Amino acid sequence: MPSLIQNYKEKETVAKLKKVYSTISQGYLLAVQENETIDNWGIDSSNTTEAALKIVNVLKNYIRITRICDTPDGNCMPNPIYDLYRV
């Protein structure tokens, strides 16, 4: 029985990841159609945080986003130390 549950959870996770990948990929293709390739989005590779925010600012027009986590206090991300003890 535990093996069946594990197998189900694994398939569920894979399906969710495929959906996320598909959504981001479609959003990216739409963004490229209107804004040219990512090389023309004004992204400087020396600052990865700033580059990520620029990518999000372009993609958010093409993907339905519920929340953008750009605060330095990390409110949107779980505390990994806490998650280790939450078993």
Q: Domains in the chain: how many in total?
A: 1
Residue numbers of the domain that contains 50: 2-84
Residues 11-57: tens digit of each pLDDT: 999 999 999 899 989 999 999 999 888 888 888 777 777 888 888 88
User: Would you say residue 85 has pLDDT above 50?
Assistant: no
Residues 44-83: tens digit of each pLDDT: 777 777 888 888 888 888 888 777 666 666 566 655 554 4
- Sequence-separated (6 or more) residues with CB below 8 Å from residue 28: 59, 62
Output the pLDDT for position 76.
67
- Sequence-separated (6 or more) residues with CB below 8 Å from residue 59: 24, 27, 28, 31
User: Would you say residue 3 has pLDDT above 70?
Assistant: yes
Output the pLDDT for position 51.
84
